[in-house]
């Protein structure tokens, strides 16, 4: 289980706890600067504080523009070509390893023995190579000890087969249809599989369900805790000076462009000890989720927030000039 955080210099704004407070409409007639300040306070977990401003559309100096243009002309094409080559290479590995294996078209292929080992080892090497291409040259990993203590992705060319071989569980956020198993059921089934078979691939979960600016920790989804199985909490930090790699409030194309145009990106991995649930936590997944969340907040020096994906969409709509109230009513 991992939690994304992004390390930056600014302090934590107040007023991030109220769920209903977060969806109030903006004051009509207020100046744009006041409205932006109100938005940043009300939706503090999603406010960008890097050099590119809200939604990556903030004002830039002439030097910043020149630097961005140079990176876009020289660095961006090199990284795109190298990234595509790595994806193609891993796709070919997955294609060879899934020949004559059932389940590829319907879902996760059942790979065993040398096939599974080849996919895992190639995935580790090529994933690290991809991070290097994207500017994550050094990734510090630290271990802490305590005293006593199916959606559109699956259909993408190349990426679809790779994600299936890696055992990804696909989430359809906009789907309204009922599923006998659903995402929570799929996660619980996979966790039981991992706990019963040591050769089964581990599963990585992001329990917040979305990203923040790295100073806050959102409520956890309980699906990851229904299996009552032990887990290892992990904190991912993204220190930055100019561009925040965390995908908190920006459209995908702009985010990828700015990420690839930044010469060096940074990520730090902090692994906490394995967390074994108590009997009370096994009986109540909400208690289990909340206790793990509080632990991560303490160890990561994060502020607990009650906001979620719905409020993030309202915030994005407001930044784009749409009515927060209208979007909130539409989501309801």
SS (H, E, C) 151-186: CHHHHCCCHHHHHHHCCCCCCCCCCCCCCCCHHHHH
Burial of 246 (0-12, 13-18, 19+ CB in 10 A): buried
What confidence score (pLDDT) does residue 308 get? Answer: 87
pLDDT at 179: 44
- What does pLDDT average to over the chain? 78
Q: What is the largest CA-CA distance in the chain?
A: 66
* pTM score, whole prediction: 0.68
If pLDDT is split at 50, 70 and 90, which confidence band does 8 have? very low
d(CA 48, CA 25): 20
Q: Is the dihedral of CA 90, 198, 286, 151 positive or negative?
A: positive
Find, among 178, 138, 179, 172, the residue nearest to 155 by Cα. Answer: 172
Q: Is the pLDDT confidence value at 149 over 50? A: no
What secondary structure letter does DSSP report for 295? H
| Residue reference for tokens 């891993």 | 90
Select the highest-mean-pLDDT range: 15-29, 140-154, 191-205: 191-205
CB 214 within 8 A of CB 238: yes
Query: Given a cut of 70, is residue 94 above it in pLDDT?
Result: yes
What number is the average pLDDT over the span 168-178? Answer: 58
How far is residue 46 CA from its own chain's centroid?
13
Both structure tokens of 154: 């699956």
What is the CB neighbour count within 10 angstroms for residue 292? Answer: 22
Q: Over range 19-39, report the average pLDDT.
A: 50
Compute CA distances 55 → 50, 176, 225, 319, whole Å.
10, 28, 33, 7
The CA distance from 206 to 211, in Å, is 9
Structure tokens at 37: 């300040």
Torsion of CA 238, 244, 245, 247, to 10 degrees: 110
- Contact between 125 and 85 under an 8 Å Cβ cutoff? The reply is no
What is the pLDDT confidence band of residue 146, given thresholds at 50, 70 and 90?
A: low
- Residue 37: predicted pLDDT: 72
Beta bridge partners of 4: 236
Alpha-carbon span 212 to 309, nearest angstrom: 10
C-alpha to C-alpha distance for 80 and 182, rounded to whole angstroms: 35
Residue-level pLDDT at 36: 65
User: What is the rounded average pLDDT of the residues 196-218?
Assistant: 82
pLDDT at 199 over 80: no
Q: Residue 66: what pLDDT?
A: 92
Q: Nearest-CA neighbor of 191 among 235, 223, 147, 238? A: 223
Q: Summarize pLDDT for 243-295 with one digit per residue, the tens.
A: 988 877 788 888 899 999 999 999 999 999 999 999 999 999 999 999 999 99
Question: Alpha-carbon distance 329 to 167, whole Å?
Answer: 36
DSSP for residue 263: S
């Amino acid at each position: 289980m991992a939690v994304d955080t992004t390390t930056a210099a600014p302090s934590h704004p107040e007023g991030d706890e109220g769920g209903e407070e977060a969806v109030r409409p903006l004051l009509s007639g207020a100046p744009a600067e006041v409205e932006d300040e109100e938005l940043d306070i009300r939706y503090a977990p999603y406010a960008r504080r890097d050099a590119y401003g809200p939604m990556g559309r903030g004002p830039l100096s002439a030097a910043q523009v020149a630097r961005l243009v140079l990176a876009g002309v020289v660095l961006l094409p090199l990284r795109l070509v190298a990234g595509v080559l790595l994806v193609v290479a891993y796709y070919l590995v997955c294609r060879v390893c899934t020949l004559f294996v059932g389940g590829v078209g319907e879902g996760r292929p059942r790979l065993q023995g040398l096939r599974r080992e080849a996919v895992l080892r190639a995935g580790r090497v090529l994933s690290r190579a991809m991070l290097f291409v994207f500017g994550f040259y050094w990734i510090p990993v630290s271990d802490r000890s305590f005293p006593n203590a199916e959606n559109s992705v699956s259909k993408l060319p190349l990426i679809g087969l790779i994600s299936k071989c890696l055992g990804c569980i696909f989430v359809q956020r906009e789907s309204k249809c009922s599923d006998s198993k659903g995402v929570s059921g799929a996660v619980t089934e996979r966790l039981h599989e991992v706990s019963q078979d040591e050769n089964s691939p581990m599963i990585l979960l992001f329990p917040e369900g979305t990203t923040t600016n790295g100073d806050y920790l959102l409520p956890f989804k309980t699906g990851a805790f229904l299996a009552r199985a032990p887990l290892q909490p992990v904190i991912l930090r993204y220190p930055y000076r100019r561009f925040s790699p965390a995908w908190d409030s920006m459209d995908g194309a702009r985010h990828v462009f700015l990420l690839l145009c930044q010469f060096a990106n940074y990520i730090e991995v902090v692994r906490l000890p394995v967390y074994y649930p108590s009997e009370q936590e096994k009986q109540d997944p909400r208690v289990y989720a909340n206790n793990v969340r509080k632990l991560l907040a303490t160890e990561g020096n994060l502020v607990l927030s009650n906001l979620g994906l719905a409020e993030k969409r309202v915030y994005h709509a407001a930044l784009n000039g749409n009515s927060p109230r209208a979007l909130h009513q539409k989501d309801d």
